[in-house]
C-alpha cells in the first residue's frame, strides 16, 4: 500500500508543521458545476490580505529552506494576489475549485494529486537535486535544487510539487477522469492543528456533497510522520 510520508528533515526545520489529509475514492469531477462555482466565487469576493500572518508564515518557511518567496511565491500568497487582481478566478474543475475555496477560507495551502499516477509513496522531503519535474501544463523536464522542499513519488522519482507548494507537477495532476486522490491541507503557526483539522473536514464534506466521493481523513505531524493509505 502507498504511504504518505513527511520526512524527518522537514520536521527538523518545521517541528510544528501539521498536515491534514483527505483520501478520496470514487469522486465525480465536473468541468463546470454551478454550485461549486458559487462557493468559489463567494470566497474569492471575501479575498485574502497578502499581509495576513498566515500568508507571511509561509513566506518565512520558504526562506528557511532557501527559497525566495518573491521569485517563487508560496501557493497561498500567489492565490491571495491573484484573487485581488483577478476576481474571476479560473475554474479548472470541481475538485480543484473546492480545495481553492478551502484554501482561501482558511488561508492555508491545499493541493492534491491523482494517486493512480503515483508509483511509490508520496513523500514531503528535501530534494537531492536528481529528481525529475515537469511543470503543470507541460514543458521541459527539470530538477529541483538540492535542499529544496519537494513533494515527490519515491519510486518514479517524479516531483509532484516544487518548493513545497510553489508549483505543481503535470504528471499527477487532477483531471476530469481522476477518481482516486490524495489531498493535502498544510498548516504552520499561527494556524493551529485544530484549524487544519477543521479545514480538512470541511473539504471532505464538500467532496462528499459535490463529488459523491468516499473519503477518509487523517493527519501527519511530528508524532506521526507517515500514514499507510488504502491505495495499492
Range of the domain at 24: 3-228
Those residues with Cβ within 8 angstroms of residue 199's Cβ, 6 or more apart along the chain or in another chain: 20, 102, 105, 106, 108, 110, 185, 187
Would you write out the chain's pLDDT as a tens digit for each of its 232 residues?
Answer: 999 999 999 999 999 999 999 999 999 999 999 999 999 999 999 999 999 999 999 999 999 999 999 999 999 999 999 998 877 788 999 999 999 999 999 999 999 999 999 999 999 999 999 999 999 998 899 999 999 999 999 999 999 999 999 999 999 999 999 999 999 999 999 999 999 999 999 999 999 999 999 999 999 999 999 999 999 9
Q: What are the CA-CA distances from residue 131 to residues 45, 122, 126, 193 (Å)?
A: 38, 13, 11, 31
Query: The CATH number of the domain where 42 resides is what?
Result: 3.50.40.10
Question: What are the residues whose beta carbons fall under 8 Å from the beta carbon of 194, sequence distance 6 or more?
Answer: none
**Domain count along the chain:** 1
> Who contacts 114 (Cβ-Cβ below 8 Å, separation ≥6)?
172, 173, 174, 175, 178, 180, 181
What is the spatial distance between Cα 120 and Cα 155, in angstroms, rounded to a whole number? 5
Amino acid at each position: 500500500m502507498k504511504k504518505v510520508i513527511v520526512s524527518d528533515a522537514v520536521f527538523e526545520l518545521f517541528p510544528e508543521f501539521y498536515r491534514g489529509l483527505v483520501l478520496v475514492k470514487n469522486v465525480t469531477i465536473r468541468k463546470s458545476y454551478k454550485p461549486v462555482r458559487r462557493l468559489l466565487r463567494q470566497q474569492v469576493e471575501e479575498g485574502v490580505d497578502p499581509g495576513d500572518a498566515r500568508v507571511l508564515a509561509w513566506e518565512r518557511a520558504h526562506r528557511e529552506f532557501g527559497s525566495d518567496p518573491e521569485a517563487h511565491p508560496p501557493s497561498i500568497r500567489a492565490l491571495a494576489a491573484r484573487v485581488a487582481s483577478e476576481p474571476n478566478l479560473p475554474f479548472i474543475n470541481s475538485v480543484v475549485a473546492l480545495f481553492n475555496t478551502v484554501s482561501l477560507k482558511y488561508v492555508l495551502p491545499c493541493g492534491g494529486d491523482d494517486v493512480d499516477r503515483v508509483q511509490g509513496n508520496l513523500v514531503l522531503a528535501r530534494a537531492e537535486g536528481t529528481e525529475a519535474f515537469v511543470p503543470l501544463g507541460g514543458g521541459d523536464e527539470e530538477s529541483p535544487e538540492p535542499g529544496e522542499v519537494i513533494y515527490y513519488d519515491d519510486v518514479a522519482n517524479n516531483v509532484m510539487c516544487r518548493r513545497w507548494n510553489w508549483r505543481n507537477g503535470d504528471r499527477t495532476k487532477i483531471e476530469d477522469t481522476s477518481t482516486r486522490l490524495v489531498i493535502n491541507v498544510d498548516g504552520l503557526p499561527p494556524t493551529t492543528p485544530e484549524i487544519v483539522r477543521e479545514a480538512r473536514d470541511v473539504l471532505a464534506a464538500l467532496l462528499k456533497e459535490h463529488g459523491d466521493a468516499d473519503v477518509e481523513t487523517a493527519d501527519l505531524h511530528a508524532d506521526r510522520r507517515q500514514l499507510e493509505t488504502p491505495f495499492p
